[in-house]
Copies of this chain bind each other. A is one copy, B any other.
């Protein structure tokens, strides 16, 4: 290539990296030769010289090949991450992290970073206060969390404001006139679930409604757990007039369970879901739910992570605001 263009290798390098540092005439000469030869700088050699891999790893936990993440926001999230990374010249590489049970103390994430495999990592689906995350941070690796955070750990994160989202949803029900509001939450090993419970409690408290332990239920974010919750909820001492559910899939299952029991939704019981996934619009009645832009979370997270890697900053905490989407699953109580 350098010989074809009649210049030194250094000049070729300059044309592609700091074009302004080379005279217009030779610049054109080089570009023409590059076009003729279909020459493109070898990315591997470039990265090798720079001492980087050019890869950002997105680490995804799985149990026996089963995703623990809602697939619905997975695609959107990756889209955001991918756009941010490609704009900054990094590759988005997917790494699947196999675990055997929901809460594993000894997760070793370091293996993905050793030997310059990736320049940084985005960890999805990690658990509340997971010790391996703190360890990873201490070892000096560049990474951040999505959908989780650990206070005072210095670990960067991007998350939806789950407390606020939950708060808004419950407040919406309260404003409709509901007082007996049940909450079907997800597993408490997720920070998400913890925060949503806080939001639920805060909304109730602010309106002078005492927290009733009997109206709190826990599912596993799957449809079936919503379905089976229906029976439990209906057999409570004083059944609720509204139920806030921590994701749409469970809400859909719950809805099926309620309809089977002859309960009218929203006539007898109102439901608010969470996620605004496909499921929300497909169900009858369509679900009032809480929407979060996972594209935004992904994009901003990846963008900030790259800044950290480049040394422009060394910490970020992003909190994206959810919005309530009103559809057909709520009404005033009788």
- A92 CB contact (under 8 Å) in B52, B83, B94: B94
Interface residues of A in 46-71 (CB under 8 A from B): 47-48, 51-53, 55, 62, 65, 67, 69, 71
Check A42–B283 contact: CB distance below 8 A: no
Nearest CB of chain B from residue A277's CB, rounded to whole Å: 8
- A71 CB contact (under 8 Å) in B41, B72, B253: B72
Find chain B residues with CB under 8 A from A67 CB. 75-76, 79
Main secondary structure of the interface of A (DSSP, over half): helix
Instruction: Tell me if A43 is interfacial: C-beta within 8 Å of chain B.
Output: yes
Instruction: Tell me if A325 is interfacial: C-beta within 8 Å of chain B.
Output: no
- A96 CB contact (under 8 Å) in B44, B79, B259: B79
Interface residues of A in 190-224 (CB under 8 A from B): 223
Find chain B residues with CB under 8 A from A115 CB. 40-43
Check A86–B96 contact: CB distance below 8 A: yes
Instruction: Tell me if A27 is interfacial: C-beta within 8 Å of chain B.
Output: no
Nearest CB of chain B from residue A278's CB, rounded to whole Å: 6
Check A65–B93 contact: CB distance below 8 A: no
Instruction: Tell me if A149 is interfacial: C-beta within 8 Å of chain B.
Output: no
Instruction: Tell me if A82 is interfacial: C-beta within 8 Å of chain B.
Output: yes
Nearest CB of chain B from residue A55's CB, rounded to whole Å: 7
Given contacts A93-B93, A279-B279, A43 and B48 within 8 Å (CB-CB): no
Interface residues of A in 62-114 (CB under 8 A from B): 62, 65, 67, 69, 71-72, 74-76, 78-79, 82-83, 86, 91-96, 114
Taken together as a complex, chains A and B put the C-alpha atoms of A72 and B284 apart, in Å, by 20
Taken together as a complex, chains A and B put the C-alpha atoms of A86 and B97 apart, in Å, by 11
Instruction: Tell me if A256 is interfacial: C-beta within 8 Å of chain B.
Output: yes
Nearest CB of chain B from residue A36's CB, rounded to whole Å: 15
Nearest CB of chain B from residue A226's CB, rounded to whole Å: 10
Instruction: Tell me if A117 is interfacial: C-beta within 8 Å of chain B.
Output: yes
Q: Which 9 A-B pairs have CB atoms at the shortest separation, nearest pair first?
A: A40-B115, A71-B75, A252-B282, A40-B114, A48-B48, A91-B93, A92-B94, A82-B96, A93-B93
Q: Which residues of A contact B (CB under 8 A)?
A: 38, 40-45, 47-48, 51-53, 55, 62, 65, 67, 69, 71-72, 74-76, 78-79, 82-83, 86, 91-96, 114-117, 223, 249, 252-253, 256, 259, 277-279, 281-284, 295
Beyond the given A44-B48, A71-B74, please list 6 additional residue pairs across the A-B interface where CB-CB is below 8 A.
A43-B116, A44-B44, A65-B83, A65-B295, A67-B76, A282-B283
